[in-house]
């Protein structure tokens, strides 16, 4: 039974990853680490995850003896640990942004000086449905951000068909997407009975969305704006696509059905989805609408930002890397 | 002191209108009526409004003897009452859609056969900031829908400048916008921890938005999609504008400052607004952003759908019609 | 593999029971029925449950050929179906109140004329932790109400020790406890930003709590008042016990540890629990506090009203009735 | 027009006090101060309060030249400022706990060493309905805590009648009651879909409740436990009273009607109140129920913790101190 380390288990993503591995029938949760919360049980912070393991200070001599690691560190801090783990032959799922962007300059424009640019080309972008085979063969998988996960799944069929001239992506996100750190704008009183845009014109998921859409055949600059909503988990992306030529509903349905036939974690739904429909699942629910009035195509995609948007997708990828069924432990 | 009838006081909009008139220093609340809740005090249904008047069955012989009326009836049902009131010389604020659309055919496409098409041309569209003088002189004011109120205020400066080639309007709305009727999709359990689009491709506020933008100089078909959020009052509109030529932030700020200088109920804010900022006010908070990456202009507008979006705007208009200060009773 | 019918699957409790059975490794979900929603797939109403089975009109000739049934009917309507199923040799879990009260007169005082008083004595009260052996041997199990489940688990150790002279139970409940029917007081706008007591002095779970406490050794009339909270699932009971003699923290801890040692679905927690801690679990989290200032004992108990309070407890009981591990399918 | 200083305006209570004074027809808001947020406009922190005044560092030489001050400092920090203001002849409303408790030892047991025990006897306890005349004549008013405000108003009629033998007070509070400081347990994700007790056995409002009940004729130790709810403003207290002799509904109604006749900010309501009913008002809504089953009396009281529970009550008291109508500026 392959052993798995979860490094950075005190944040929302790491904690959920730890829970999913802890209950996984094929993996053993070897250790969980945290810089800030070492010494506490995970269940002290997250009673509902019911993982009684104690978080430790990371010690590579002890913790590096695992078959795989899920790294849930902030950007910039993840890369050095990833490098050290790869050197020991550990297979790594990185949840940070450090290996998502192919272009170092782009990374350094949006984030910080890259600690290990040499490793970028070894990383596979971990959007399961799009890169399944490469993920299975990879030693390093860079899991997508939560917004890019939903955006790319929503737009891939149109991008691959060469239909996207322009797109506006309006994202609505629950508060867990902001992470566990104490911030004024995630205090209950700031969020409750409120909705507001954030990161306008400058959200770090932008270059990632553009990079992946370009790779699929849509070399555009997407307009992307997230909004903070009074709910804890869940993300809805409303994508408004200007197409290069008129697209009818029937044709649209075919593109999506073709692209996602056989994908068990993609739900093509007849009505626009709500985030409740996919809460605590690895599913992305998608509804595409050919809008006669405007000639545009609207695509709505709903995910759980902590599950499909982060940690359950990580486990799906880990399953692939070890030859297990993709849905083990996350269905 | 002019006397005011509120017809249809049991719904959210009528109830709030009744409260605002009841406390208004210049008007007297003469009567409130309701078909379904006659005999009850308004405070039985809405304790927080603290209006102890009893709702009655409408009886024009008694209730028609007022100086003004606010009609909060469903579309189709409003027009006949409006006609009867006008005939008696009553000044009327209609909150329904019956007199918002200038084109009968458009109205009948989106709603029902128009009961009084002859009266359409007598109605003034009650967006206070845009039609102040006409409202002051009108006997019949058709108050805008809540979404059009925010959409048109957000886009008017750009429309008047002839800059709008295309626009995507993504609206987020609290549940009170759906009205007081019992519906499965407004039950707590359906809304809580959820967000979902509705009325996709077919919301009745669409033709109203297009009509008013055209009148301002932007003859386009706007892509408009509302979403239901887990909050009770408040509406945020995120407008993504493709302009005919590049627009910089400085120029953009000038357009908005020029258009809205002196408007006390328009707040041009430096950061994207949240709906909490305008809760229970007649204010529309607007933030315009010239987006360098995409070349688009983003405009975010926040209102309270029941106040500025409906009932406080109605009272502002009534103030104008009777020569009172526009902000009396709603500041 | 024993086959299970879920009758009344369109309500919250029945729907969750159907989902739990559908994914259960030892049972087969044979059919689901609904009077009001026959013909629809369960996933049309509850996408997140992901049960694609179609709800049918009940037809005993077809549906009675099962090994077991979970009946999720309203009180009064359940008993006749239970009777018919028992006659066919089906093992029955009844989620209604029809067989919870031992005394017919009490039932008829609080509910309606009992349709099958003869069957009452055949029913075992399905509070798993207290009646495990009897449940295993029963053909008919009457699952407790959600409030009694938490109340009795919270108070059993003190009742059995003969310590309870008087108790005030203040309950806080999420909205799903009110069921799926359309009601004004469960509309989002009525519940949001609100908290209010309901059923004051007359809630139907009162006689059930008293009956079970008496059976455990505390023949009292408990003061019980539920409150409606703006959350969907979860129930917190705050129990304030006046004891017959002073009880210290150490002694108190012993009573609870003794009573619940080995109970895997009872969490004795060091800090007062929140309902988030037990969301979507079969767990009852309990914290007992010997209050020095007042001399009283406070016991706080948190459950998920739809899981431990109803449907997962039902499945635990079904597991026992068929000799499976109590936690199969609900852990 | 008397000038008023609000010291400590960056917290929830101080900010609301500043807003109420700013719009007050009889007072002038002279200055607002804050240690942590000096230099910012109040509207930067609280856009919805619409107070554009800039918060300053406190400078008694400048700020002490006012007619009155509302002090919204933490306990221990308030007393020295209060002392300095009194010395300058300023009339002071203190929102902290520093002058609420008559007994220094009790204060020092629950809080810190008292900085100015000599001033305690000069302070009047600012529960408007109970101490109106003394407040009007006072130079220093110690406003009650939010929980004591509701608790004492709920229980005063029974205490004065000598009927209370024992009482359990179960309080449900919105998150704003916890103040504006960054805390893990007031982050959105911690509060949302949750309810949990806090301060069990040791909440600082306990001695204040006991002190005031004793003064009214009920020398008891009340069992008081607050719970944190997912809403921002509002407090519901459910009081379960064991009486010395049986009390019927009719008698109960009389006690309450007698005690509160003529009180315009006390609403005796026929149904148990919800906190929505009193949101953003100075009203305490009370419902008393003589419970036949248990022989107890239940009293439910709802207030807005920031309004009646703190800042609007402060303004009511200030009105009294300056001879204005009690309801000026808060109705």
C-alpha distances (whole Å) from B325 to each of A316, B22, D22, D26, D281 are: 64, 17, 21, 22, 26
CA distance C312 to D245: 44
Interface-testing mutation among C181, C184, C188, C190, with chain B (most B C-beta atoms within 10 A): C188
Interface-testing mutation among B23, B42, B45, B48, with chain D (most D C-beta atoms within 10 A): B48
- Identify the CA nearest to D263 among candidates D220, D229, D313: D313
* Minimum Cα–Cα distance from A192: chain C residue: C193
> Does the distance separating the beta carbons of C182 and B192 come in below 8 Å?
no
Size of interface C-D (CB pairs under 8 A): 142
pLDDT tens digits for C121-169?
Answer: 999 999 999 999 999 999 999 999 999 999 999 999 999 999 999 999 9
Average pLDDT over residues C247-271: 97
What is the residue whose two structure tokens read 């938005």? Answer: B209
Q: Which phi and psi angles does B178 have, rounded to 5°?
A: -85, 0
Q: Write the DSSP string, A132-183.
A: HHHHHH-SEEEPPPHHHHHHHHHHHHHHHTT-EEEEEEEEEE-GGGG-SS--
What is the residue whose two structure tokens read 């009064």? Answer: C76
Size of interface A-C (CB pairs under 8 A): 26
- Identify the CA nearest to D307 among candidates D235, D229, D200: D235
D201 chain-C contacts, CB cut-off 8 A? 289, 291-293, 298
Quote the percentage of chain B above a pLDDT of 70.
100
For residue D209, give how far its alpha carbon lies from the nearest alpha carbon of chain C (Å).
Answer: 13
Interface-testing mutation among A48, A230, A282, with chain C (most C C-beta atoms within 10 A): A48
Per-residue buried b or exposed e for B46-58, using 16+ beta carbons within 10 Å of the residue's own CB: bbbbbbebbbeeb
- In 3-state terms, what secondary structure has residue A45? helix
* Chains touching B by CB (3 or more pairs below 8 Å): A, C, D
ipTM of the shown complex = 0.97
Bridge partners, residue A55, by sequence? A32
Q: Cβ–Cβ contacts within 10 Å for residue C269, how many?
A: 18
Q: Write the DSSP string, C56-84.
A: E---HHHHT-SSEEEE-PPTTTHHHHHHH
Bridge partners, residue D3, by sequence? D28
What is the residue whose two structure tokens read 């086959």? Answer: C3
Give the angle subtended at the CA of B217 by the CAs of B215 and B221, to the nearest 5°: 80
pLDDT range class, residue B135, cuts 50, 70, 90:
very high
Bridge partners, residue C305, by sequence? none
10 Å CB burial of residue A246 (0-12, 13-18, 19+) is: exposed
Within an 8 Å CB–CB cutoff, is residue C274 touching chain D? Answer: yes
CA B175 from chain centre, in angstroms, equals 15
Q: Which two tokens stand for residue D72?
A: 């919204």
* Chains touching A by CB (3 or more pairs below 8 Å): B, C, D
A15 chain-D contacts, CB cut-off 8 A? none
Which residue numbers in chain A have pLDDT < 50? none
Sheet holding A3-7, edge to edge: A55-56, A28-33, A3-7, A68-71, A91-94, A140-142, A123-125
> Does the distance separating the beta carbons of C195 and D274 come in below 8 Å?
yes
Scanning D191-220 for CB atoms below 8 A from B yields 192-193
- Please tell me which of the candidates C172, C223, C300 has its beta carbon nearest to residue D294: C223
pLDDT range class, residue C18, cuts 50, 70, 90:
very high
Scanning A220-239 for CB atoms below 8 A from D yields 230-232
Residue B327, pLDDT score: 98
What DSSP designation does B177 have? G
- In 3-state terms, what secondary structure has residue D162? coil
CA D114 from chain centre, in angstroms, equals 20
Residue D67, pLDDT score: 98
> Does the distance separating the beta carbons of C292 and D201 come in below 8 Å?
yes
Q: Cβ–Cβ contacts within 10 Å for residue C50, how many?
A: 17
Q: Which phi and psi angles does D304 have, rounded to 5°?
A: -90, 115
- In 3-state terms, what secondary structure has residue C168? strand
C-alpha distances (whole Å) from D149 to each of D155, D203, D208, D283 are: 10, 15, 10, 11
Kindly give the pairing relationship between strand B297-303 and strand B284-290.
antiparallel
Average pLDDT over residues C232-242: 98
pLDDT tens digits for C157-202?
Answer: 999 999 999 999 999 999 999 999 899 999 999 999 999 999 999 9
Give the angle subtended at the CA of C39 by the CAs of C37 and C42, to the nearest 5°: 65
Q: Which two tokens stand for residue D159?
A: 């205490």
pLDDT tens digits for D127-159?
Answer: 999 999 999 999 999 999 999 999 999 999 999
Size of interface B-C (CB pairs under 8 A): 53
pLDDT tens digits for A194-224?
Answer: 999 999 999 999 999 999 999 999 999 999 9
- Please tell me which of the candidates A48, A273, A276 has its beta carbon nearest to residue C276: A48
C-alpha distances (whole Å) from D100 to each of D144, D160, D218 are: 7, 20, 18
C-alpha distances (whole Å) from C86 to each of C69, C116, D48, D251 are: 10, 12, 62, 52
- Identify the CA nearest to A100 among candidates A24, A236, A205, A255: A205
- Identify the CA nearest to C125 among candidates C155, C97, C147: C97
> Does the distance separating the beta carbons of A47 and C276 come in below 8 Å?
yes
Q: Which two tokens stand for residue D189?
A: 């994700």
| Long-range contacts from D103-111, C-beta under 8 angstroms, 24+ separation | D103/D211, D106/D207, D106/D211, D109/D207, D110/D204, D110/D206, D110/D207, D111/D75, D111/D76, D111/D204
Helices (H), B186-232: 188-191, 206-216
What is the residue whose two structure tokens read 């988030």? Answer: C276
CA distance A286 to A271: 9
What DSSP designation does B273 have? -
- In 3-state terms, what secondary structure has residue A49? helix
Report the interhelical angle of B312-321 vs B12-22 (nearest 10°): 50
Scanning D143-162 for CB atoms below 8 A from C yields none
pLDDT range class, residue D27, cuts 50, 70, 90:
very high
- Please tell me which of the candidates C172, C192, C298 has its beta carbon nearest to residue D195: C172
- Identify the CA nearest to D172 among candidates C285, C236, C90, A79: C236
C-alpha distances (whole Å) from A103 to each of A24, A128, A159, A330, B176 are: 35, 21, 21, 32, 47
> Does the distance separating the beta carbons of A47 and C281 come in below 8 Å?
no
Per-residue buried b or exposed e for C123-137, using 16+ beta carbons within 10 Å of the residue's own CB: bbbbbbbbbeeebbe
Is C146 considered catalytic here? Answer: yes
CA C306 from chain centre, in angstroms, equals 8
Sheet holding C164-173, edge to edge: C196-197, C223-228, C164-173, C235-243, C297-303, C284-290, C266-268
D17 and D282 in contact (C-beta within 8 Å)? no
- Identify the CA nearest to C295 among candidates A21, D162, D166, A318: D166
Scanning A164-193 for CB atoms below 8 A from B yields 166, 168, 170, 172, 174, 190, 192-193
- Please tell me which of the candidates B47, B278, B279 has its beta carbon nearest to residue D277: B47
Residue A324, pLDDT score: 98
B193 chain-D contacts, CB cut-off 8 A? 192-193
SS (H, E, C) C257-325: HHHHCCCCCEEECCCCCCHHHHCCCCCEEEEEEECCCCCCEEEEEEECCCHHHHHHHHHHHHHHHCCCC
> Does the distance separating the beta carbons of B296 and A194 come in below 8 Å?
no
C182 chain-B contacts, CB cut-off 8 A? 182-184, 187
Which residues 6+ apart lie within 8 Å of A79 measured at CB?
A96, A98, A99, A114, A115, A116, A119
Residue D288, pLDDT score: 98
D238 chain-C contacts, CB cut-off 8 A? 170, 197, 225, 227
Q: Which two tokens stand for residue C173?
A: 């409940």
- In 3-state terms, what secondary structure has residue B104? helix
C-alpha distances (whole Å) from C240 to each of A79, C69, C209, D287 are: 53, 38, 15, 21
- What sign results for the dihedral spanned by CA atoms A29, A34, A38, A40? negative
C191 chain-B contacts, CB cut-off 8 A? 188
B238 chain-A contacts, CB cut-off 8 A? 170, 197, 225, 227
pLDDT tens digits for C276-319?
Answer: 999 999 999 999 999 999 999 999 999 999 999 999 999 999 99
Interface-testing mutation among B48, B174, B184, B187, with chain C (most C C-beta atoms within 10 A): B187
């Amino acid at each position: 039974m392959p052993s798995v380390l979860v490094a950075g288990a005190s944040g929302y993503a790491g904690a959920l990853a730890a829970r999913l591995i802890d209950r996984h029938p094929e993996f053993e949760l070897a250790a969980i680490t945290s810089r800030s919360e070492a010494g506490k049980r995970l269940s002290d912070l997250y009673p509902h995850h019911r993982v009684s393991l104690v978080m430790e200070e990371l010690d590579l001599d002890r913790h590096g003896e695992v078959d795989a690691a899920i790294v849930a560190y902030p950007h910039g801090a993840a890369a050095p640990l990833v490098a050290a783990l790869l050197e020991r032959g550990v297979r790594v799922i990185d949840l940070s942004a450090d290996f998502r962007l192919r272009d170092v300059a782009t990374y350094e424009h949006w984030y910080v000086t890259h600690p290990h640019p040499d490793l970028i080309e070894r990383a596979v972008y971990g959007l399961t449905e799009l890169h399944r085979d490469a993920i299975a063969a990879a030693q390093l998988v860079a899991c997508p951000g939560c917004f890019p996960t939903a955006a790319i799944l929503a737009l891939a069929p149109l991008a691959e068909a060469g239909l996207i001239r322009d797109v506006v992506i309006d994202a609505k996100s629950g508060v867990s997407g902001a992470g566990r750190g104490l911030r004024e704008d995630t205090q209950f009183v700031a969020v409750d009975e409120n909705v507001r845009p954030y990161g306008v014109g400058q959200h770090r998921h932008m270059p990632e969305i553009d990079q992946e859409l370009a790779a699929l055949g849509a070399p555009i600059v997407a307009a992307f704006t997230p909004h903070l909503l009074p709910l804890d988990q869940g993300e809805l992306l409303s994508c408004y696509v200007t197409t290069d030529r008129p697209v009818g509903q029937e044709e649209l349905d075919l593109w999506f059905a073709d692209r996602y036939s056989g994908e068990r974690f993609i739900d093509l739904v007849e009505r626009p989805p709500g985030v409740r429909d996919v809460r605590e699942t690895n599913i992305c629910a998608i509804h595409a609408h050919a809008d006669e009035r405007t000639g545009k195509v609207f695509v709505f995609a709903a995910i759980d930002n902590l599950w499909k948007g982060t940690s359950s997708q990580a486990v799906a990828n880990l399953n692939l890397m070890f030859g297990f069924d993709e849905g083990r432990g996350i269905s």
